[in-house]
Amino acid sequence: MKEFNITDKSANSESRFVLIAGPCVAESMELCIEVAEKMQQITSALNITYVFKASFDKANRSSVNSPRGPGLKQGLSYLDAVKQKLNLPVVTDIHETAQVKEVSEIADILQIPAYLCRQTDLLVAAGNTGKTVNIKKGQFMAPEDMKGAVDKVKSTGNNKIMLTERGTSFGYHNLVVDMRSLITMKELGVKVVFDATHSVQLPGGLGNASGGQREFVKPLACAAAATGIDALFMEVHPNPEKSLSDGPNSVNFEMAEDILKSVLSHSAIQQGVL
């Protein structure tokens, strides 16, 4: 993986690669700070550039009764606290054009959820901020078809675009990662991210919530690294079983560190191929 300058804060010529990680939902100020501090310690020791991620709203939960998050204003206050306390760049999801301006005042990266990757108004509004835009590839999209989403952001004159692979739906309650898609999207001339935890999600697998197979996060992350991705994305929680969202596919601190070490020890990276 190559060094990837997202913002001035994340620019580091000595960095081995970029990690985007944090809890699925910004459950509390305390949780956000805890995860950010621990992951900053781990990534600093491994010489990895770190970007904190958490969502203020999960607007596409399986059930109407599922926790969605603290909401826009409170959630942004958590992200801002992480920025101010730890001097870290942050990324969060936007779901509606009305959210874009306020979120862009805090977030260094605006993330477009997979289900919204074709929403023209949202993509254009995000592009108009001049911020880096991370578009998650829809589970229903062929990788080459993400060119349309890229072009919508580029139409604003903003070329700071990332595409994230998070698995494709080929059947009920399952996602499959085709590693060829990482290379295909790279050919669109944008930065490419592999979402190692959402890719092992089992959508709707628990009936009123999604399941997951976190045991496959590490092998998939290592496989993705071999394709030459620009960044790795993981959802990290100190106690995934108690996470308010995506617990079955999230990893704890120990697992996250082990995964990062495995990715770094990959032969292609050690030999300087990537």
Average pLDDT over residues 6-34: 79
Say if residue 1's pLDDT is above 60. no
Q: Please give the pLDDT value at position 70.
A: 78
What is the mean predicted confidence (pLDDT) over 166-189? Answer: 91
Q: Are 51 and 20 in contact (CB under 8 A)?
A: yes
Predicted local confidence at residue 5, as pLDDT? 64
Higher pLDDT, 126 or 264: 126
Q: Give the pLDDT band of residue 17 (cuts 50, 70, 90).
A: confident
Residue scoring higher pLDDT (86 or 15): 86
Query: Does the structure show a pLDDT above 80 at 172?
Result: no
pLDDT value at residue 69: 77
Residue 252: pLDDT over 60: yes
Report pTM. Answer: 0.89
Nearest-angstrom CA–CA distance, 69 and 56: 5
What CATH architecture is 18-270? Alpha-Beta Barrel (3.20)
Radius of gyration for the chain, computed over Cα atoms and rounded to the nearest angstrom: 17
Going from N- to C-terminal start, the domains of the chain cover 18-270
pLDDT tier at 268 (50, 70, 90 boundaries)? very low
Q: pLDDT band for 21, please (50, 70, 90 cuts).
A: very high
**Predicted local confidence at residue 64, as pLDDT:** 76
Cα separation, 35 vs 111, whole angstroms = 19
Integer Cα distance of 64 and 45 in angstroms: 41
What would the pLDDT profile of 230-243 be if each residue is shown by its tens digit? 999 999 999 988 87
